[in-house]
Amino acid sequence: MSGPIWSFGDRILDCGERTLIMGIVNCTPDSFSDGGMNMDPEIAVASAMQMLADGADILDVGGESTRPGSDPVSVDEELRRVLPVIEWLAREVPDVPLSVDTMKAEVAHAALANGACIVNDVTAGRDPAMFATVAEARAGIVLMHMLGEPKTMQDEPAYRDVVGQVHSYLKERTRAAVAAGVPAEAVVIDPGIGFGKTLEHNLAVLRAVGSFFDIGRPVLVGPSRKRFIGALLDAEVGERLGGTAGAVAWLAAEGCHIVRVHDVREMAQAVKVVDAIKGGSA
């Protein structure tokens, strides 16, 4: 294998051979780009299956919006949204790694017991029970940087050195996860584009994405349809496909290991071309 390995349970993902695609399955009424589209579990599963056909390697199922200004939802409501989809997908495509996008250990525990094998935590384990939950399930975890919380994270975010501070935070949270019993090889890090960051902060982090590799874990980035693309292009959410492709191509060229996207078909094509140019598998 040619790069960093993401290993958890009985799964081993080579994150260096090519750029991996994580498809976003939002089971929420208020997500910033596709809220309400996948509230019916049957529709959500059909959407997820299409993502797999289009080239997704991992599916990320979420039941609580983390868009700027969003309000939290209860554990029960989040579980009502995600569990039927995770259970259905686990039956239909048991070989596909399923991720639950949650910051709540209680939701993570139920999702992992019903077919998920990864927790994508935008708070990097702020819930005191999260790391123990992941360790007990022998699951993978994505640790993301977010300044503050979704409700207030875009209220004048400020840093002395955004790249340095995000790097230090992700390094510390990786150490904390390992200290709590999560194997280092089960951890992926995410610098959190759009989570408590201005346009210039986001561009600085993207420009320096390679600086996070020395933490020693695969790097995942989610630029898809984000507000910074809209600001650069003066484009509404539905008009950000080209801008997203530009960001994804940049990330693939810089060696980012996993990209989290809505438009799987187009982004899978983009990274396949970039990976081939880089000398990866064509």
The encoded tokens of residue 109 equal 């525990």
Torsional sign, CA 183, 186, 189, 192: negative
66 vs 144, more confident: 144
Q: Please list the helix, strand and coil fractions of the chain in percent, rounded to the nearest 5, in that order.
A: 45, 15, 40
For residues 102 and 192, give the distance between their C-alpha atoms in angstroms, rounded to a whole number.
14
Selecting among 104, 173, 240, 260, the annotated active-site residue is 260
Place of tokens 């579980």: 79
Active site residue 226: yes
For residues 20 and 252, give the distance between their C-alpha atoms in angstroms, rounded to a whole number.
9
Mean pLDDT calculated for residue range 97-120: 98
User: Does residue 32 have a pLDDT over 50?
Assistant: no
Beta bridge partners, 220, equal 258
Confidence band for 281, pLDDT divided at 50, 70 and 90? low
The model carries a pTM of 0.93
Architecture of domain 19-277: Alpha-Beta Barrel (3.20)
Mean pLDDT calculated for residue range 60-79: 86
The gap from C-alpha 99 to its chain's centroid, in whole angstroms, comes to 9
What is the structure's pLDDT at 40?
Answer: 84
Contact 203, 28 (CB under 8 A): no
For residues 173 and 149, give the distance between their C-alpha atoms in angstroms, rounded to a whole number.
16
Q: Phi and psi (nearest 5°) for 256?
A: -55, 140
Mean pLDDT calculated for residue range 45-67: 94
For residue 70, the one-letter residue type is S
For residues 71 and 162, give the distance between their C-alpha atoms in angstroms, rounded to a whole number.
26
Residue 137 parent element (H or E):
helix 130-137
Mean pLDDT calculated for residue range 171-190: 98
Of how many residues is the chain composed?
Answer: 282
Q: Could you state, in order of their start, the residue ranges of all structural domains in the chain?
A: 19-277
* Strand extents, DSSP E, 82-240: 98-101, 118-121, 140-144, 187-190, 220-221
What is the structure's pLDDT at 265?
Answer: 98
Mean pLDDT calculated for residue range 262-270: 98
User: Does residue 107 have a pLDDT over 50?
Assistant: yes
Contact 144, 126 (CB under 8 A): no
What's the number of CA atoms in the CB half-sphere (13 Å) around residue 9?
18
Selecting among 225, 226, 227, 240, the annotated active-site residue is 226
Contacts of 264 (CB under 8 A, 6+ apart): 21, 23, 50, 51, 54, 55, 56
Contact 60, 99 (CB under 8 A): yes
Contact 281, 18 (CB under 8 A): yes
